[in-house]
Amino acid sequence: MKSERVAAIVGVAESDLGETPGKTVLQLQAQAAKAALEDAGLTKDDVDAVFTAGNWAWSPPMMLAEYLGIRPRFTDGTNIGGSSFEAHVGHAVAGLRAGLFDVALVTYGSTQRSDRSRRRPPASPQLTAQFELPYGLPTPVGAYALAAMRHMHQYGTTSEQLAEIAVATRKWAMLNEKAMMREPITIEDVLRSRWIAEPLHLLDCCLVTDGGGAVVIASARKAPLAAKRPVWVLGHGETHTHNTIVNMPDLTVTGARESGRRAFEMAGVTHDELDVVEIYDSFTITVLLTLEALGFCKPGEGGAFVSGQRTAPGGDFPMNTNGGGLSYCHPGMYGIFLLIEAVRQLRGECGPRQVPGARLALVHGTGGVLSSTATVILGRD
Amino acid sequence: MPNPWPKPEVDGDSRPFWEGLHQGELRIQRCEDCGRHIFYPRSICPHCFSDRVRWVLATGRGRIYSYTVVHRAQGPFAEEAPYVVAIVELEEGVRMMSRIVGPREEVAIEKPVRVVFTRVDDELILPFFEVLKEG
Protein backbone atom coordinates (compact mmCIF):
# COMPACT_ATOMS: atom_id res chain seq x y z
CA MET A 1 0.00 0.00 0.00
CA LYS A 2 2.08 2.84 -1.31
CA SER A 3 -0.59 5.21 -2.53
CA GLU A 4 -1.29 8.51 -0.80
CA ARG A 5 -4.37 8.99 1.36
CA VAL A 6 -6.68 11.34 -0.51
CA ALA A 7 -10.14 9.92 0.07
CA ALA A 8 -11.83 7.43 2.34
CA ILE A 9 -15.20 5.75 2.35
CA VAL A 10 -16.63 6.57 5.74
CA GLY A 11 -20.29 5.53 5.46
CA VAL A 12 -22.24 2.83 3.65
CA ALA A 13 -25.82 1.58 3.75
CA GLU A 14 -28.50 -0.18 1.79
CA SER A 15 -32.16 0.78 1.64
CA ASP A 16 -34.88 -1.84 1.83
CA LEU A 17 -34.07 -4.52 -0.71
CA GLY A 18 -35.91 -7.23 -2.59
CA GLU A 19 -39.47 -6.18 -3.30
CA THR A 20 -40.50 -2.70 -2.18
CA PRO A 21 -43.99 -2.12 -3.60
CA GLY A 22 -45.17 1.47 -3.33
CA LYS A 23 -41.67 2.85 -2.74
CA THR A 24 -40.12 5.29 -5.18
CA VAL A 25 -36.49 5.53 -6.30
CA LEU A 26 -36.26 8.78 -4.34
CA GLN A 27 -37.53 7.18 -1.13
CA LEU A 28 -35.06 4.31 -1.44
CA GLN A 29 -32.15 6.68 -2.00
CA ALA A 30 -33.21 8.96 0.85
CA GLN A 31 -33.42 5.97 3.18
CA ALA A 32 -29.98 4.71 2.15
CA ALA A 33 -28.44 8.20 2.25
CA LYS A 34 -29.72 8.86 5.77
CA ALA A 35 -28.44 5.51 7.00
CA ALA A 36 -25.05 5.94 5.32
CA LEU A 37 -24.57 9.41 6.83
CA GLU A 38 -25.52 8.02 10.24
CA ASP A 39 -23.02 5.22 9.68
CA ALA A 40 -20.41 7.90 8.94
CA GLY A 41 -21.39 10.06 11.91
CA LEU A 42 -21.91 12.96 9.51
CA THR A 43 -24.96 15.03 8.65
CA LYS A 44 -26.66 16.09 5.47
CA ASP A 45 -25.12 19.54 5.89
CA ASP A 46 -21.64 18.05 5.66
CA VAL A 47 -22.37 16.84 2.13
CA ASP A 48 -21.06 19.17 -0.54
CA ALA A 49 -20.91 16.81 -3.53
CA VAL A 50 -23.63 14.60 -5.00
CA PHE A 51 -23.12 11.58 -7.24
CA THR A 52 -25.87 9.42 -8.64
CA ALA A 53 -26.69 7.42 -11.76
CA GLY A 54 -30.06 6.50 -13.12
CA ASN A 55 -32.45 7.00 -15.98
CA TRP A 56 -35.49 7.83 -13.86
CA ALA A 57 -35.33 11.59 -14.47
CA TRP A 58 -34.07 14.09 -16.99
CA SER A 59 -31.34 14.97 -14.47
CA PRO A 60 -31.22 12.44 -11.64
CA PRO A 61 -28.61 14.39 -9.60
CA MET A 62 -30.68 17.56 -9.67
CA MET A 63 -33.92 15.83 -8.74
CA LEU A 64 -32.24 13.84 -5.99
CA ALA A 65 -30.30 16.77 -4.49
CA GLU A 66 -33.46 18.87 -4.46
CA TYR A 67 -35.42 16.04 -2.79
CA LEU A 68 -32.74 15.62 -0.14
CA GLY A 69 -32.30 19.35 0.36
CA ILE A 70 -28.68 19.50 -0.73
CA ARG A 71 -27.08 22.30 -2.76
CA PRO A 72 -23.83 20.67 -3.84
CA ARG A 73 -20.78 22.47 -5.07
CA PHE A 74 -19.86 19.44 -7.16
CA THR A 75 -22.15 17.07 -9.09
CA ASP A 76 -21.52 13.96 -11.14
CA GLY A 77 -24.32 12.07 -12.86
CA THR A 78 -22.07 9.85 -14.97
CA ASN A 79 -24.06 6.83 -16.08
CA ILE A 80 -22.02 4.03 -17.63
CA GLY A 81 -24.32 1.31 -16.33
CA GLY A 82 -23.65 -0.92 -13.35
CA SER A 83 -20.06 0.22 -12.95
CA SER A 84 -21.08 3.87 -12.56
CA PHE A 85 -20.52 3.88 -8.81
CA GLU A 86 -16.98 2.54 -9.01
CA ALA A 87 -16.38 5.29 -11.57
CA HIS A 88 -17.97 7.79 -9.18
CA VAL A 89 -15.43 6.78 -6.53
CA GLY A 90 -12.61 7.55 -8.94
CA HIS A 91 -14.17 10.87 -9.89
CA ALA A 92 -14.68 11.73 -6.23
CA VAL A 93 -11.01 11.06 -5.52
CA ALA A 94 -10.09 13.42 -8.37
CA GLY A 95 -12.40 16.11 -7.01
CA LEU A 96 -11.10 15.68 -3.48
CA ARG A 97 -7.52 15.76 -4.72
CA ALA A 98 -8.31 19.07 -6.36
CA GLY A 99 -9.83 20.37 -3.15
CA LEU A 100 -13.23 20.98 -4.75
CA PHE A 101 -15.31 19.51 -1.91
CA ASP A 102 -14.97 17.55 1.34
CA VAL A 103 -17.82 15.03 1.54
CA ALA A 104 -19.40 13.21 -1.38
CA LEU A 105 -22.67 11.33 -1.21
CA VAL A 106 -23.04 8.57 -3.82
CA THR A 107 -26.50 7.02 -4.16
CA TYR A 108 -28.47 4.61 -6.25
CA GLY A 109 -32.06 3.41 -6.20
CA SER A 110 -34.25 1.26 -8.37
CA THR A 111 -37.77 -0.15 -8.26
CA GLN A 112 -37.05 -2.43 -11.18
CA ARG A 113 -38.77 -5.47 -9.72
CA SER A 114 -41.97 -3.72 -8.69
CA ASP A 115 -42.05 -1.90 -12.02
CA ARG A 116 -42.31 -5.18 -13.90
CA SER A 117 -46.06 -5.21 -13.44
CA ARG A 118 -46.16 -2.07 -15.54
CA ARG A 119 -45.29 -2.69 -19.14
CA ARG A 120 -42.27 -0.83 -20.39
CA PRO A 121 -42.53 0.45 -23.95
CA PRO A 122 -39.95 -1.26 -26.15
CA ALA A 123 -36.77 0.69 -26.79
CA SER A 124 -36.89 2.63 -30.02
CA PRO A 125 -34.42 1.46 -32.70
CA GLN A 126 -32.81 4.80 -33.34
CA LEU A 127 -29.27 5.99 -33.92
CA THR A 128 -26.85 3.08 -33.55
CA ALA A 129 -29.47 0.88 -31.89
CA GLN A 130 -31.26 0.51 -35.25
CA PHE A 131 -28.60 -1.99 -36.32
CA GLU A 132 -29.26 -4.32 -33.39
CA LEU A 133 -32.76 -4.04 -31.97
CA PRO A 134 -34.54 -5.44 -35.05
CA TYR A 135 -32.81 -8.82 -34.57
CA GLY A 136 -34.39 -9.57 -31.20
CA LEU A 137 -31.36 -10.10 -28.99
CA PRO A 138 -32.67 -9.89 -25.41
CA THR A 139 -30.71 -7.25 -23.54
CA PRO A 140 -28.54 -7.57 -21.62
CA VAL A 141 -28.58 -11.37 -21.28
CA GLY A 142 -28.24 -12.11 -25.00
CA ALA A 143 -25.06 -10.08 -25.23
CA TYR A 144 -23.48 -11.94 -22.32
CA ALA A 145 -24.57 -15.22 -23.92
CA LEU A 146 -22.71 -14.26 -27.09
CA ALA A 147 -19.57 -13.63 -25.02
CA ALA A 148 -19.97 -16.91 -23.14
CA MET A 149 -20.43 -18.88 -26.37
CA ARG A 150 -17.28 -17.33 -27.82
CA HIS A 151 -15.28 -18.05 -24.67
CA MET A 152 -16.44 -21.67 -24.73
CA HIS A 153 -15.47 -21.97 -28.39
CA GLN A 154 -12.09 -20.38 -27.93
CA TYR A 155 -11.03 -21.99 -24.65
CA GLY A 156 -13.28 -24.97 -23.99
CA THR A 157 -14.91 -23.34 -21.00
CA THR A 158 -17.90 -25.39 -19.81
CA SER A 159 -21.34 -24.71 -18.38
CA GLU A 160 -20.23 -26.64 -15.28
CA GLN A 161 -17.43 -24.14 -14.73
CA LEU A 162 -19.83 -21.21 -15.04
CA ALA A 163 -22.17 -22.98 -12.62
CA GLU A 164 -19.36 -23.18 -10.05
CA ILE A 165 -19.66 -19.41 -9.72
CA ALA A 166 -23.42 -19.48 -9.15
CA VAL A 167 -23.14 -22.25 -6.56
CA ALA A 168 -20.30 -20.60 -4.63
CA THR A 169 -22.08 -17.25 -4.64
CA ARG A 170 -25.25 -18.87 -3.27
CA LYS A 171 -23.21 -20.28 -0.37
CA TRP A 172 -22.21 -16.72 0.57
CA ALA A 173 -25.84 -15.61 0.29
CA MET A 174 -26.81 -18.30 2.79
CA LEU A 175 -24.62 -16.42 5.28
CA ASN A 176 -26.27 -13.05 4.56
CA GLU A 177 -29.69 -12.51 6.06
CA LYS A 178 -30.38 -9.67 3.59
CA ALA A 179 -29.91 -11.96 0.59
CA MET A 180 -33.00 -12.79 -1.42
CA MET A 181 -32.04 -16.35 -2.45
CA ARG A 182 -30.74 -18.45 0.44
CA GLU A 183 -31.62 -22.03 -0.48
CA PRO A 184 -28.54 -24.08 -1.41
CA ILE A 185 -28.11 -24.99 -5.08
CA THR A 186 -25.90 -27.50 -6.85
CA ILE A 187 -24.10 -27.43 -10.17
CA GLU A 188 -26.77 -29.83 -11.44
CA ASP A 189 -29.48 -27.35 -10.40
CA VAL A 190 -27.82 -24.65 -12.47
CA LEU A 191 -27.46 -26.91 -15.51
CA ARG A 192 -31.04 -28.11 -15.21
CA SER A 193 -32.52 -24.61 -14.86
CA ARG A 194 -34.17 -23.45 -18.08
CA TRP A 195 -32.32 -21.86 -20.94
CA ILE A 196 -32.56 -18.09 -21.15
CA ALA A 197 -30.11 -17.56 -24.00
CA GLU A 198 -27.74 -20.43 -24.73
CA PRO A 199 -25.30 -21.10 -23.15
CA LEU A 200 -26.74 -19.23 -20.16
CA HIS A 201 -29.33 -20.87 -17.92
CA LEU A 202 -31.68 -19.11 -15.54
CA LEU A 203 -29.30 -19.67 -12.61
CA ASP A 204 -26.43 -18.10 -14.57
CA CYS A 205 -28.37 -14.83 -14.41
CA CYS A 206 -28.62 -12.18 -11.72
CA LEU A 207 -31.78 -11.48 -9.79
CA VAL A 208 -34.22 -8.71 -10.60
CA THR A 209 -34.89 -6.82 -7.36
CA ASP A 210 -35.71 -3.40 -6.01
CA GLY A 211 -33.26 -1.61 -3.79
CA GLY A 212 -30.98 1.30 -3.15
CA GLY A 213 -27.63 2.06 -1.63
CA ALA A 214 -25.45 4.95 -0.52
CA VAL A 215 -21.77 5.53 0.02
CA VAL A 216 -20.18 8.52 1.75
CA ILE A 217 -16.67 9.52 0.68
CA ALA A 218 -14.66 12.04 2.67
CA SER A 219 -11.42 13.94 2.22
CA ALA A 220 -8.33 12.96 4.22
CA ARG A 221 -9.02 16.07 6.32
CA LYS A 222 -12.61 15.10 7.10
CA ALA A 223 -12.25 11.31 7.30
CA PRO A 224 -10.74 11.20 10.82
CA LEU A 225 -13.85 13.00 12.12
CA ALA A 226 -16.07 10.13 10.98
CA ALA A 227 -17.53 7.65 13.43
CA LYS A 228 -15.78 4.57 12.03
CA ARG A 229 -12.35 3.66 10.76
CA PRO A 230 -11.82 5.10 7.30
CA VAL A 231 -11.56 2.72 4.37
CA TRP A 232 -9.08 4.36 2.03
CA VAL A 233 -9.39 4.49 -1.73
CA LEU A 234 -5.96 3.29 -2.77
CA GLY A 235 -6.42 3.00 -6.50
CA HIS A 236 -8.98 3.30 -9.23
CA GLY A 237 -9.33 2.97 -13.00
CA GLU A 238 -12.10 3.03 -15.55
CA THR A 239 -12.78 2.65 -19.25
CA HIS A 240 -15.43 1.80 -21.75
CA THR A 241 -14.58 -0.15 -24.85
CA HIS A 242 -17.88 -0.20 -26.76
CA ASN A 243 -21.58 0.47 -26.40
CA THR A 244 -23.36 -2.40 -28.16
CA ILE A 245 -22.06 -5.95 -28.05
CA VAL A 246 -21.28 -6.22 -31.77
CA ASN A 247 -18.72 -3.49 -31.29
CA MET A 248 -16.85 -5.18 -28.44
CA PRO A 249 -13.34 -5.60 -29.88
CA ASP A 250 -12.85 -9.12 -28.47
CA LEU A 251 -15.81 -10.88 -26.83
CA THR A 252 -13.48 -12.62 -24.39
CA VAL A 253 -11.53 -9.60 -23.11
CA THR A 254 -13.20 -6.83 -21.09
CA GLY A 255 -12.02 -3.35 -20.26
CA ALA A 256 -11.04 -4.71 -16.85
CA ARG A 257 -7.65 -5.32 -18.38
CA GLU A 258 -7.16 -1.54 -18.57
CA SER A 259 -9.16 -0.31 -15.57
CA GLY A 260 -7.68 -3.03 -13.37
CA ARG A 261 -4.11 -2.40 -14.43
CA ARG A 262 -4.44 1.29 -13.65
CA ALA A 263 -6.05 0.60 -10.27
CA PHE A 264 -3.33 -1.87 -9.27
CA GLU A 265 -0.59 0.53 -10.38
CA MET A 266 -2.07 3.44 -8.46
CA ALA A 267 -2.61 1.38 -5.32
CA GLY A 268 0.84 -0.18 -5.49
CA VAL A 269 -0.50 -3.58 -4.51
CA THR A 270 -0.30 -7.00 -6.11
CA HIS A 271 -2.98 -9.60 -6.73
CA ASP A 272 -1.83 -11.94 -3.99
CA GLU A 273 -2.01 -9.20 -1.37
CA LEU A 274 -5.80 -8.89 -1.74
CA ASP A 275 -7.95 -10.44 0.98
CA VAL A 276 -11.36 -10.21 -0.64
CA VAL A 277 -12.73 -9.33 -4.08
CA GLU A 278 -16.17 -8.10 -5.04
CA ILE A 279 -16.74 -8.56 -8.76
CA TYR A 280 -19.89 -7.58 -10.59
CA ASP A 281 -21.84 -10.76 -11.30
CA SER A 282 -24.64 -9.78 -13.64
CA PHE A 283 -24.09 -13.24 -15.12
CA THR A 284 -21.68 -16.02 -14.28
CA ILE A 285 -19.72 -15.29 -17.45
CA THR A 286 -19.20 -11.69 -16.32
CA VAL A 287 -17.19 -12.92 -13.36
CA LEU A 288 -15.14 -15.37 -15.36
CA LEU A 289 -14.19 -12.80 -18.01
CA THR A 290 -13.39 -10.23 -15.31
CA LEU A 291 -11.10 -12.54 -13.36
CA GLU A 292 -9.10 -13.15 -16.52
CA ALA A 293 -9.02 -9.51 -17.60
CA LEU A 294 -7.95 -8.36 -14.14
CA GLY A 295 -5.06 -10.80 -14.34
CA PHE A 296 -6.01 -13.20 -11.55
CA CYS A 297 -5.42 -15.90 -14.16
CA LYS A 298 -4.44 -16.07 -17.81
CA PRO A 299 -6.90 -15.67 -20.69
CA GLY A 300 -8.87 -18.88 -21.03
CA GLU A 301 -8.04 -20.11 -17.53
CA GLY A 302 -11.05 -18.58 -15.79
CA GLY A 303 -12.99 -21.84 -15.84
CA ALA A 304 -10.22 -23.74 -14.10
CA PHE A 305 -9.68 -20.84 -11.71
CA VAL A 306 -13.20 -20.96 -10.27
CA SER A 307 -13.46 -24.77 -10.19
CA GLY A 308 -13.64 -26.73 -6.97
CA GLN A 309 -15.70 -24.01 -5.23
CA ARG A 310 -12.59 -21.91 -4.85
CA THR A 311 -14.59 -18.67 -4.46
CA ALA A 312 -17.03 -20.08 -1.87
CA PRO A 313 -16.86 -19.56 1.90
CA GLY A 314 -13.78 -21.42 3.09
CA GLY A 315 -12.17 -21.34 -0.34
CA ASP A 316 -8.84 -19.63 -0.91
CA PHE A 317 -10.38 -16.84 -3.05
CA PRO A 318 -13.24 -15.17 -1.14
CA MET A 319 -15.39 -13.45 -3.76
CA ASN A 320 -18.81 -11.79 -3.79
CA THR A 321 -19.19 -12.35 -0.09
CA ASN A 322 -22.66 -10.80 0.22
CA GLY A 323 -24.14 -13.33 -2.20
CA GLY A 324 -23.72 -11.10 -5.22
CA GLY A 325 -26.12 -10.00 -7.86
CA LEU A 326 -26.78 -13.67 -8.44
CA SER A 327 -28.28 -14.34 -5.00
CA TYR A 328 -28.34 -11.23 -2.76
CA CYS A 329 -29.90 -8.40 -4.75
CA HIS A 330 -29.66 -6.84 -8.17
CA PRO A 331 -31.69 -3.69 -8.70
CA GLY A 332 -30.52 -2.96 -12.25
CA MET A 333 -27.20 -1.22 -11.64
CA TYR A 334 -25.59 -3.21 -8.89
CA GLY A 335 -22.16 -1.58 -8.59
CA ILE A 336 -22.86 0.40 -5.43
CA PHE A 337 -23.53 -2.81 -3.47
CA LEU A 338 -20.05 -4.10 -4.29
CA LEU A 339 -18.58 -1.05 -2.58
CA ILE A 340 -20.87 -1.41 0.43
CA GLU A 341 -19.87 -5.04 0.97
CA ALA A 342 -16.15 -4.39 0.52
CA VAL A 343 -16.23 -1.61 3.10
CA ARG A 344 -18.08 -3.81 5.59
CA GLN A 345 -15.56 -6.61 5.06
CA LEU A 346 -12.65 -4.23 5.67
CA ARG A 347 -14.34 -2.96 8.83
CA GLY A 348 -14.90 -6.50 10.06
CA GLU A 349 -18.68 -6.04 10.25
CA CYS A 350 -19.78 -9.09 8.28
CA GLY A 351 -20.56 -11.59 11.03
CA PRO A 352 -20.81 -15.18 9.75
CA ARG A 353 -19.55 -14.24 6.30
CA GLN A 354 -16.59 -12.15 7.52
CA VAL A 355 -13.31 -12.86 5.77
CA PRO A 356 -10.97 -12.96 8.78
CA GLY A 357 -8.61 -10.02 9.04
CA ALA A 358 -9.50 -8.52 5.67
CA ARG A 359 -7.36 -5.45 5.02
CA LEU A 360 -7.31 -5.08 1.24
CA ALA A 361 -10.23 -5.42 -1.14
CA LEU A 362 -10.74 -5.12 -4.88
CA VAL A 363 -14.09 -3.93 -6.20
CA HIS A 364 -14.87 -4.22 -9.87
CA GLY A 365 -17.96 -2.96 -11.67
CA THR A 366 -19.08 -3.87 -15.17
CA GLY A 367 -21.74 -1.92 -17.00
CA GLY A 368 -23.83 -2.13 -20.12
CA VAL A 369 -23.08 -5.22 -22.17
CA LEU A 370 -19.51 -5.74 -20.93
CA SER A 371 -19.17 -2.15 -22.15
CA SER A 372 -17.78 -0.23 -19.21
CA THR A 373 -15.53 -1.30 -16.38
CA ALA A 374 -14.34 0.50 -13.29
CA THR A 375 -12.02 -0.92 -10.67
CA VAL A 376 -11.43 0.34 -7.14
CA ILE A 377 -8.91 -0.94 -4.61
CA LEU A 378 -9.75 -0.24 -0.99
CA GLY A 379 -7.74 -0.73 2.18
CA ARG A 380 -7.71 0.00 5.87
CA ASP A 381 -4.74 1.02 7.97
CA MET B 1 -52.88 -8.19 -32.50
CA PRO B 2 -49.21 -9.18 -32.65
CA ASN B 3 -46.62 -6.66 -31.52
CA PRO B 4 -45.04 -4.87 -34.47
CA TRP B 5 -41.46 -5.67 -35.43
CA PRO B 6 -39.28 -2.77 -34.17
CA LYS B 7 -38.75 -0.39 -37.08
CA PRO B 8 -35.35 1.20 -37.54
CA GLU B 9 -35.56 4.97 -37.46
CA VAL B 10 -33.83 5.65 -40.76
CA ASP B 11 -31.50 8.66 -40.55
CA GLY B 12 -28.80 10.51 -42.42
CA ASP B 13 -26.21 7.86 -41.60
CA SER B 14 -28.31 4.79 -42.26
CA ARG B 15 -30.58 5.56 -45.23
CA PRO B 16 -28.36 3.98 -47.93
CA PHE B 17 -28.04 0.81 -45.84
CA TRP B 18 -31.78 0.29 -45.40
CA GLU B 19 -32.56 1.29 -48.99
CA GLY B 20 -29.95 -1.12 -50.28
CA LEU B 21 -31.69 -4.05 -48.67
CA HIS B 22 -34.75 -3.39 -50.84
CA GLN B 23 -32.50 -3.74 -53.89
CA GLY B 24 -30.84 -6.92 -52.70
CA GLU B 25 -27.65 -5.10 -51.74
CA LEU B 26 -25.72 -5.29 -48.50
CA ARG B 27 -24.07 -1.90 -48.28
CA ILE B 28 -21.26 -1.03 -45.89
CA GLN B 29 -18.75 1.80 -45.87
CA ARG B 30 -15.07 2.11 -46.65
CA CYS B 31 -12.72 4.88 -45.61
CA GLU B 32 -11.09 6.57 -48.62
CA ASP B 33 -8.05 7.47 -46.56
CA CYS B 34 -7.13 4.43 -44.46
CA GLY B 35 -8.95 1.90 -46.63
CA ARG B 36 -10.67 0.10 -43.79
CA HIS B 37 -14.28 -0.98 -43.95
CA ILE B 38 -16.81 0.45 -41.52
CA PHE B 39 -20.08 -0.88 -40.10
CA TYR B 40 -22.42 0.46 -38.72
CA PRO B 41 -22.46 3.43 -41.10
CA ARG B 42 -21.27 6.78 -39.83
CA SER B 43 -20.05 10.16 -41.00
CA ILE B 44 -16.47 9.77 -39.80
CA CYS B 45 -13.96 6.92 -39.87
CA PRO B 46 -13.52 5.54 -36.34
CA HIS B 47 -10.02 4.32 -37.27
CA CYS B 48 -8.35 7.42 -38.75
CA PHE B 49 -11.02 10.11 -38.21
CA SER B 50 -11.21 10.88 -41.91
CA ASP B 51 -14.56 12.20 -43.08
CA ARG B 52 -14.05 10.73 -46.54
CA VAL B 53 -16.15 7.61 -46.14
CA ARG B 54 -18.05 6.09 -49.07
CA TRP B 55 -20.56 3.32 -49.55
CA VAL B 56 -19.45 0.01 -51.06
CA LEU B 57 -21.17 -3.31 -51.66
CA ALA B 58 -20.30 -6.13 -49.33
CA THR B 59 -19.97 -9.61 -50.81
CA GLY B 60 -22.55 -10.82 -48.31
CA ARG B 61 -20.29 -13.63 -47.18
CA GLY B 62 -18.71 -14.05 -43.81
CA ARG B 63 -18.47 -16.34 -40.81
CA ILE B 64 -20.15 -16.70 -37.47
CA TYR B 65 -18.09 -14.92 -34.79
CA SER B 66 -20.51 -15.90 -32.03
CA TYR B 67 -24.16 -16.80 -31.61
CA THR B 68 -26.80 -17.55 -29.04
CA VAL B 69 -30.05 -19.45 -29.15
CA VAL B 70 -32.63 -17.15 -27.61
CA HIS B 71 -35.19 -19.03 -25.55
CA ARG B 72 -36.74 -16.24 -23.54
CA ALA B 73 -37.48 -13.30 -25.75
CA GLN B 74 -39.14 -10.00 -25.06
CA GLY B 75 -41.90 -7.97 -26.70
CA PRO B 76 -42.56 -8.72 -30.34
CA PHE B 77 -40.10 -11.60 -30.37
CA ALA B 78 -41.62 -13.59 -27.52
CA GLU B 79 -43.61 -15.95 -29.70
CA GLU B 80 -40.76 -16.62 -32.13
CA ALA B 81 -38.38 -18.18 -29.61
CA PRO B 82 -36.23 -20.18 -29.87
CA TYR B 83 -34.23 -18.45 -32.61
CA VAL B 84 -30.56 -17.85 -33.35
CA VAL B 85 -29.02 -14.38 -33.07
CA ALA B 86 -25.41 -14.11 -34.18
CA ILE B 87 -22.55 -11.72 -34.66
CA VAL B 88 -21.42 -12.24 -38.25
CA GLU B 89 -17.97 -11.13 -39.36
CA LEU B 90 -18.12 -10.19 -43.02
CA GLU B 91 -15.29 -10.94 -45.44
CA GLU B 92 -14.53 -7.21 -45.40
CA GLY B 93 -13.64 -7.49 -41.70
CA VAL B 94 -16.60 -5.70 -40.12
CA ARG B 95 -19.09 -7.35 -37.80
CA MET B 96 -22.85 -7.05 -37.73
CA MET B 97 -25.66 -8.47 -35.68
CA SER B 98 -28.04 -10.75 -37.48
CA ARG B 99 -30.11 -13.90 -37.35
CA ILE B 100 -29.00 -17.29 -38.64
CA VAL B 101 -31.80 -19.04 -40.50
CA GLY B 102 -31.93 -22.71 -41.44
CA PRO B 103 -31.25 -25.90 -39.51
CA ARG B 104 -30.15 -25.25 -35.93
CA GLU B 105 -27.67 -28.13 -35.89
CA GLU B 106 -25.58 -26.47 -38.63
CA VAL B 107 -24.98 -23.35 -36.58
CA ALA B 108 -21.51 -23.13 -35.06
CA ILE B 109 -18.86 -20.50 -34.47
CA GLU B 110 -16.55 -20.00 -37.49
CA LYS B 111 -19.06 -21.57 -39.92
CA PRO B 112 -19.18 -19.71 -43.26
CA VAL B 113 -22.45 -17.90 -43.93
CA ARG B 114 -24.05 -15.84 -46.67
CA VAL B 115 -26.64 -13.12 -46.54
CA VAL B 116 -30.34 -13.87 -47.11
CA PHE B 117 -32.46 -10.78 -47.59
CA THR B 118 -35.50 -11.59 -45.52
CA ARG B 119 -38.80 -9.73 -45.60
CA VAL B 120 -40.07 -9.74 -42.03
CA ASP B 121 -43.20 -7.66 -42.66
CA ASP B 122 -44.72 -5.28 -45.21
CA GLU B 123 -42.11 -2.60 -44.64
CA LEU B 124 -38.96 -4.20 -43.33
CA ILE B 125 -36.30 -6.33 -45.01
CA LEU B 126 -33.46 -7.53 -42.79
CA PRO B 127 -30.14 -9.09 -43.81
CA PHE B 128 -30.27 -12.51 -42.17
CA PHE B 129 -27.62 -15.17 -42.87
CA GLU B 130 -27.61 -18.88 -43.67
CA VAL B 131 -24.85 -21.40 -43.13
CA LEU B 132 -23.02 -22.35 -46.33
CA LYS B 133 -22.38 -25.98 -47.13
CA GLU B 134 -18.63 -26.45 -46.87
CA GLY B 135 -16.41 -28.02 -49.52
Q: What is the DSSP annotation of B20-31? A: HHHTT--EEEEE
Domain residues for the domain of A249 are: 7-115+207-379
Contacts of B7 in chain A (CB under 8 A): 125, 134
Q: What's the CATH number where A232 sits?
A: 3.40.47.10
- Give the span between the Cα atoms of A376 and A88, in whole angstroms: 10
Model confidence at A121: pLDDT above 60: no
- Same domain membership, residue B39 and residue B91: no
Contacts of B77 in chain A (CB under 8 A): 136, 138
Residue A126 sits at the chain B interface (C-beta within 8 Å): yes
Of residues A232 and B4, more confidence is placed in A232
Start-to-end C-alpha separation, chain A: 9
Q: What is the pLDDT of residues A192-207, one digit of tens each?
A: 999 999 999 999 999 9
- pLDDT of B3 reads 62
- pLDDT of B76 reads 85
How many structural domains compose chain B? Answer: 2
In chain B, pLDDT over 70 holds for what percent of residues? 97
Give me the mean pLDDT over the A273-300 stretch.
98
Assigned domain for A172 exists = no
Give me the mean pLDDT over the A115-129 stretch.
74
Give me the mean pLDDT over the A286-314 stretch.
98
**Band of pLDDT at residue A120, cut at 50, 70 and 90:** low
The average confidence (pLDDT) of chain A is 96
**Band of pLDDT at residue A116, cut at 50, 70 and 90:** confident
From A79's Cα to the closest Cα of chain B, the distance in A is: 23
The average confidence (pLDDT) of chain B is 95
Residue A127 sits at the chain B interface (C-beta within 8 Å): yes
- pLDDT of B5 reads 84
Assigned domain for B1 exists = no
- Same domain membership, residue B49 and residue B101: no
- pLDDT of B1 reads 46
From B29's Cα to the closest Cα of chain A, the distance in A is: 14
Using the beta-carbon criterion (under 8 Å), do B87 and A251 form an inter-chain contact?
yes
Q: What's the CATH number where B35 sits?
A: 2.20.28
Assigned domain for A173 exists = no
Model confidence at A317: pLDDT above 70: yes
Nearest neighbour of B69 by CB, restricted to A147, A198, A245: A198
- Give the span between the Cα atoms of A261 and A377, in whole angstroms: 11
Please give the interface size between A and B, counted as residue pairs whose CB atoms are below 8 Å apart: 112
In sequence order, which residues have a C-beta less than 8 Å from that of residue A15 and are 6 or more positions away? A27, A28, A29, A31, A32, A35, A109, A211, A212, A213, A214
B105: number of Cβ within 10 Å: 7
Model confidence at A51: pLDDT above 50: yes
Using the beta-carbon criterion (under 8 Å), do B66 and A197 form an inter-chain contact?
no
Using the beta-carbon criterion (under 8 Å), do A131 and B77 form an inter-chain contact?
no
Q: What is the DSSP annotation of A206-258? A: ----BEEEEEEEEETTTGGGSSS--EEEEEEEEEE--SSGGG-S-TT--THHH
Question: If you ran DSSP here, which 8-state letter would residue A167 be given?
Answer: H
Q: For this structure, is A280 an active site residue?
A: yes
Using the beta-carbon criterion (under 8 Å), do B66 and A196 form an inter-chain contact?
no
Q: What is the pLDDT of residues A179-188, one digit of tens each?
A: 999 999 999 9
Using the beta-carbon criterion (under 8 Å), do A150 and B40 form an inter-chain contact?
no
- Same domain membership, residue B63 and residue B39: no
Contacts of A146 in chain B (CB under 8 A): 66-68, 85-87
Give me the mean pLDDT over the A117-131 stretch.
76
Assigned domain for B31 exists = yes
Domain residues for the domain of B35 are: 10-57
Residue A194 sits at the chain B interface (C-beta within 8 Å): yes
Lowest mean pLDDT among A182-191, A325-334, A354-363, B74-83: B74-83
Give me the mean pLDDT over the B35-46 stretch.
98
How many structural domains compose chain A? Answer: 1
Q: What is the pLDDT of residues A62-108, one digit of tens each?
A: 999 999 999 999 999 999 999 999 999 999 999 999 999 999 999 99
- pLDDT of A2 reads 59
Contacts of A126 in chain B (CB under 8 A): 8-9, 11
Model confidence at A291: pLDDT above 80: yes
